[in-house]
Structure 1
């Protein structure tokens, strides 16, 4: 039998949902205006810049981004048309492909990252004390560990250029 959320839980839950929706929308809008990259483009490029040789298998991107395969395929195709990434066949697995960061993709994220980090800092971290940042990290870690009980949850904020 389900139990309804308490009033405190309901306020916290709705605030969290509203915050994440607004934050994603604002980050996407500001990133688009400043660099021409979408937040989705940025997320893909971050993962590729952190990968050895700037290349990842499609299934790795699906796992890391938690996107549906079809969404990733369509998005990679759009990024490929813009010259941000390339696809390369996998010689060891003919069914698989690599997504590879191009020079244009690396240049795009290197130009976008400083402004994006400034936006994240301004919208999130400038309004928090060191203690609150530590509490946020703990909170995020606990929720992530419950979302992936069979895997070790990645520490919050582990990406250099990540959305944070």
Structure 2
């Protein structure tokens, strides 16, 4: 295949459309979360992922797993966790069985903020998808997203199964 191959060109155009849809959705949600809850999309995503972890041994995420789950580098994840920890929304602690492991968990304040932000996130997502569906190039992607049936465990799982 060459760079001018029609299949590659179509693939590149499809990828651009997907990227455009993602950018529009993320920007719309970002504005809504920032204005109503002083949260970024990444902060919301981190709180959401961590809130879905069960309690007890192995029920919390190590920093590497957090980075994989929110699709950030480990250094960017550390900065994100530190910001949320400074706001009292997360806590970090050493693993009982492996002192090298650092776990992250959502505090009660973080769970409360997440609960109040979830309807805003969901509403903004719906608005962004409805707006994108009006664009003929994006409408098929919107339909595909709406028709996806992904098990919740796939979306909420830590490293080894990413978000």
TM-score by structure 1 length? 0.73
CA deviations on 1:23-57 (whole Å, 9 max, x unpaired) are: 21221111111111110111111111110127322
Give the number of aligned pairs: 145
Tell me what 2:43 maps to.
41
Q: Unpaired runs of 5+ in structure 2?
A: 135-139, 157-163
Q: Unpaired runs of 5+ in structure 1?
A: 142-154
Is 1:91–2:67 an aligned residue pair?
no
Tell me how far apart the structure 1 counterparts of residues 65 and 78 of structure 2 sit (CA, whole Å). Answer: 13
Q: CA deviation at 1:124?
A: 1.2
Tell me how far apart the structure 1 counterparts of residues 127 and 151 of structure 2 sit (CA, whole Å). Answer: 18
SS at match of 1:52: coil
RMSD: 3.1
Residues 1-150 of structure 1 aligned to structure 2 (within 5 Å): 2-4=2-4, 6=6, 8-53=10-55, 55-124=60-129, 127=133, 135-136=144-145
Tell me how far apart the structure 2 counterparts of residues 5 and 30 of structure 1 sit (CA, whole Å). Answer: 41
Check 1:102–1:18 CA distance in 2 against 1; reply closer, same or farther (3 A cut): same
Check 1:115–1:104 CA distance in 2 against 1; reply closer, same or farther (3 A cut): same
SS at match of 2:113: helix
Residue 87 of structure 1 contacts residue 97 of structure 1 at CA under 8 Å; is this kept in 2? yes
**Relative contact order higher in (CA < 8 Å, ≥ 6 apart):** 2
